[in-house]
Amino acid sequence: MAQGVHATAIVEDGVQLGVGAVIHPGAIVRTGTVVGDAAIIHPYAVIGGEPQDLRFDPTTLSGVQIGARSTLREYVTVNRATRPGQATTIGQECFLMAGVHLAHDVRLGDFVILANNVLLAGHVTVGERTFIGGGAAVHQFCRVGEGAMVAGLARITLDVAPFTMVAERDEVIGLNLVGLKRRALPRTTIQELKDLFRRVFYTPGNIRLIAAETLASQPVWAAESRRFLEFFAGGKRGFSRPRRGAATDGGEHADP
């Protein structure tokens, strides 16, 4: 694949292109965008456009940052941040399939995959190694934790805990165990996460307090277990949970 800016692509002044970056024909990359080494932007993607926010001041100096070796396919749109000096960010080695939209101030971790027509509203954060299925939509200010899997056409209006799987509207259906195993985690860590999943989601009471008390109950947790529990201390929204009466127990589910 030829490197550089192809004919009919538009790269505005003030764009920074990393070594080996590719901008395909018809793509538009606007001022304030930083494209990492070997990143690829496919035809008709629009990167760094103004936020779709009626209160936004177009004179605001903000941008978009794209990590090394990330790929943005056809018709992807990524809006720049709303605050001066800030950026909508895409981590390293992410893959955004055709038609994905990232609104202003979105933050993607490394190795995130967004399938066709995923819609992320403003200020959404997505943890590393997460997969979001085609046509799924995520409400503004939601957090999707690392290693999570969101089913296609899901509607996410609440935070999604790390390493979980969600479908439909905010319905947790178990742990993403196949994803955990592919990370070559010890069996003891996976079993610990299973136990914590049951404790946090099936103990009656305030889920934030349950997670905090569980975290404090043992001085040493696996790193993944600690991040799972610490996730419940943050955020501005509530949490996706298993459907009431469902038999979800953290059992095995496939990931992509």
pLDDT at 233 over 70: yes
d(CA 120, CA 105): 10
Residue 57 identity (one-letter amino acid)? D
Tens of pLDDT along 51-80?
Answer: 999 999 999 999 999 999 999 999 999 999
Tens of pLDDT along 203-227?
Answer: 999 999 999 999 999 989 999 999 9
d(CA 149, CA 167): 9
Tokens of 9: 């692509």
What local confidence, expressed as pLDDT, does residue 40 receive? 98
Q: List all residues 6 or more positions away from 129 whose beta carbon is below 8 Å from its beta carbon.
A: 109, 110, 111, 112, 146, 147, 179, 183
Rounded to an integer, the average pLDDT of 79-108 is 98
Q: In the block, which residue shows the tokens 């990590």?
A: 67
CA angle 125, 128, 134 (to 5 degrees): 70
Closest CA to 90 of 51, 61, 130, 141: 130
Could you tell me the pTM of the whole model?
Answer: 0.94
CB 256 within 8 A of CB 131: yes
Tell me the percentage of the chain whose pLDDT exceeds 70.
94
Tell me the percentage of the chain whose pLDDT exceeds 90.
92
- CA 144 to chain CA centroid, Å, is 6
Q: Where are the alpha helices (DSSP H) in 14-131?
A: none
d(CA 192, CA 186): 10
What local confidence, expressed as pLDDT, does residue 183 receive? 93
Tens of pLDDT along 20-50?
Answer: 999 999 999 999 999 999 999 999 999 999 9
Tens of pLDDT along 96-119?
Answer: 999 999 999 999 999 999 999 999
Q: Which helix (H) or strand (E) holds 226?
A: helix 223-231
